[in-house]
Amino acid sequence: MRLRMRTKILLACLCSTLAALAIQTLLFERTSSTLLYGQAENAGYRTLENMQNELRIFIREIEGGLVKIYNDRDFLKELGGGTSIEKLREDYYRLAYTIGTENFSTSDRVLAVYIYNAEHEIVSTYRKAVTPKHNYPRDIYENESYNGEKVKEYAASSEAEMLISSYYNPYREKNIVRFAVKIYDTTSLNDTIGYIVCDVDSKALEKIMEKYQIDDGTYTWVQPVGDRAIYAVGEAEKESLAHYEKIEKCIRDGETEKLGSIPGGGEVLFCVQQQGYNLDAYAIMPQELLHRSQEMLGRNLLLVATAVTALITLFITYITRSLARPLEALTETMSRIRAGDTRRRASYRSKDEIGQLGEEFNKMLDEIERLIGREYENQLLLSKAEYKALQAQINPHFLYNTLETMSSIASIQNCELVSTLCQSLSNIFRYSLDMKHPYSTVVKEINHLKNYIFVMNVRMREEVKYGFDIEEAVLQDSIPRLSLQPLVENALNHGLKNKHGEKSVEIRAWEEDGLLLVSVTDNGVGMDGEEMNRRLRENDRDAMESGSSIGLGNINARMKMLYGEEYGVFVESAVGKGSRVLLRIPRRKIEEAEAWKK
């Protein structure tokens, strides 16, 4: 009996394990190839889409700085009124400098600004920190190598969107990104009276593109249709570079319909267009990268199958020896008790599970009456557990998965806006509902804020312009989770809701005297700043807890509870003059913040 039982356990476990591994291997070979390939391909497209979204935010910031030239009414009047080029140069020789230094932050990496009249004559030039190595042209038309003809073509065309181009700077030995915006006559809005050109260091794009680089073997670049490539990242193989040169030439010649036939059988071409601008993103990925996960899983499966078989054999041999003998003794005891020997008790006293089973069996016989009451209590506990299990089925992961599913369906149906919106909402909820980590970093708060801004832009049809000026030194500073989004939400709901005309919100973060300062400035209807600061000083926590949303009072109370009464939210505002909300807390790294909390 003992030998048969051990043999049965060993054979049953080994056969079940081997059968499961065999079935898993067959199913994997049949279904995983297409699935993993499709997932990797979709991941490549999503990565390029995310990169394009962040590039679009950067491009819009550059465009926003250039169109501020319309604020100089006198210049526009003279530029469109036939004033001579000599007079314009004499009166407005510093205009390009003013635009380049005041309308852009250092993170925008603006290198030069040029202002031209409709006859392509230079009016004003700004060049940043000119040295023999960091040298930039005084006039983009002084040499054909500066790709100025693309700007002339743009100025003479009917295109209204901003031009994105580039040229190779031999002094810097790198590509320089170029943006150009037409200047229209403000009286007719049809006649072009000039244009403004802005050259930007390609490091601004490099910082964004490298963040979304799929793999070292993938070659990724951005290029306008009809123009040269602007910037590329990745270390491609010789074959990939040959394909890149052919693709780049087709795009430069405007023959994009030929792109599908260029990559060979060993590579895949991805392309994602930029929304609103002529700047497409391309990536050449070797197909072996897409199949890498499948091959890795296949090898791991064989290793696991071999290791599991050996371990199961040794483990079951030991288990059968340690389990069969006490189980047979316990079974014999139970049989005698069932036959009428109710005084008999299990004699196995080991501390393992079988010993505990024998001990519990003895207690069951001794306390049969109490077991009835205990069984009733167990039924109640079971009911509560089932109720909690039903409640637990509804959790944030259901919401995340639903949004991810909606995003995938929208992407398949070519509803890119809906797909991106779902992705942003998923990121917002995932970040907002993470209660395990009360502290975050400035960079994560900014990323969460950008997801929120994207959703609001879709909702408000991009009628609000946003600007960011974040010092790199504070990006990894600690900040309580969900501290910045409510400040921007307050600006939208209270400052800009009833505002007519141009609406803007500027977000800035910097370090000063050991403090982390974050400001949110809007050009809205404003409010009574003194009254608001009085309420914030009173710090009425009962009023804060009774609200249904996170407002200034809530943020202010959290900061004071965490850091002290001298910190919190401060308001600079007047009715009709916009508002500036300042958040002030001590600088700490995320590890220091967690330790300080403890």
pLDDT of residue 380: 46
pLDDT of residue 36: 56
pLDDT of residue 33: 55
Q: Which of 326, 343, 368 is the last residue of a domain?
A: 326
Q: Which of 285, 301, 326 is the last residue of a domain?
A: 326
pLDDT of residue 543: 46
In a domain, 343, yes or no: no
Run means of pLDDT, 10 residues per run, the chain, 598 residues: 58 74 67 61 85 93 94 91 92 94 92 95 92 90 92 92 94 93 84 94 91 81 92 75 83 83 71 91 76 61 72 71 66 76 67 69 68 51 37 45 62 69 71 70 91 82 88 92 88 86 92 94 90 83 46 83 88 89 89 56
In a domain, 218, yes or no: yes
SS3 state of residue 375 = helix
Q: What are the φ and ψ backbone dihedral angles of 59, each rounded to 5 degrees? A: -65, -40
In a domain, 540, yes or no: yes
Q: Which of 275, 307, 326 is the last residue of a domain?
A: 326
In a domain, 429, yes or no: no
- Helix (H) or strand (E) run with residue 213 in it: none
Whether 468 and 319 share a structural domain: no
Classify residue 403 as exposed, middle or buried by CB count within 10 Å of its CB (0-12, 13-18, 19+).
Answer: buried
In a domain, 571, yes or no: yes
- DSSP result, 28-56: HHHHHHHHHHHHHHHHHHHHHHHHHHHHH
What is the tens place of the pLDDT at every residue in 350-409?
A: 666 666 776 777 777 777 546 645 555 444 433 443 333 333 333 454 455 555 566 666
How many domains is the chain partitioned into structurally? 2
Beta strands in 224-333 (DSSP E): 231-233, 267-272, 280-286
In a domain, 479, yes or no: yes
Residue found under tokens 């005309």 = 501
pLDDT of residue 559: 85
- Provide the residue range defining the domain that includes 251: 1-326
Q: What are the φ and ψ backbone dihedral angles of 162, each rounded to 5 degrees? A: -65, 140
Rounded CA separation 110/198 (Å): 7
In a domain, 391, yes or no: no
Residue found under tokens 């401060």 = 570
- Domain with residue 542: its CATH number is 3.30.565.10
* Cα-trace Rg, the chain: 34
Whether 171 and 314 share a structural domain: yes
Q: What are the φ and ψ backbone dihedral angles of 497, each rounded to 5 degrees? A: -60, -45
What is the tens place of the pLDDT at every residue in 428-480?
A: 767 666 656 778 899 999 998 888 888 888 877 778 899 999 999 999 999 98
Alpha-carbon distance values, 375 to 345, 379, 381 (Å): 22, 6, 10
In a domain, 206, yes or no: yes
Cβ 146 vs Cβ 133: under 8 Å:
no
Q: What are the φ and ψ backbone dihedral angles of 521, each rounded to 5 degrees? A: -115, 130
Question: Residue 334 has which token pair?
Answer: 């139970």
- Please list, residue by residue across 440-460, b when 16 or more beta carbons sit within 10 angstroms of its beta carbon and e when fewer do: bbbbbbbebbbbbbbbbbeee
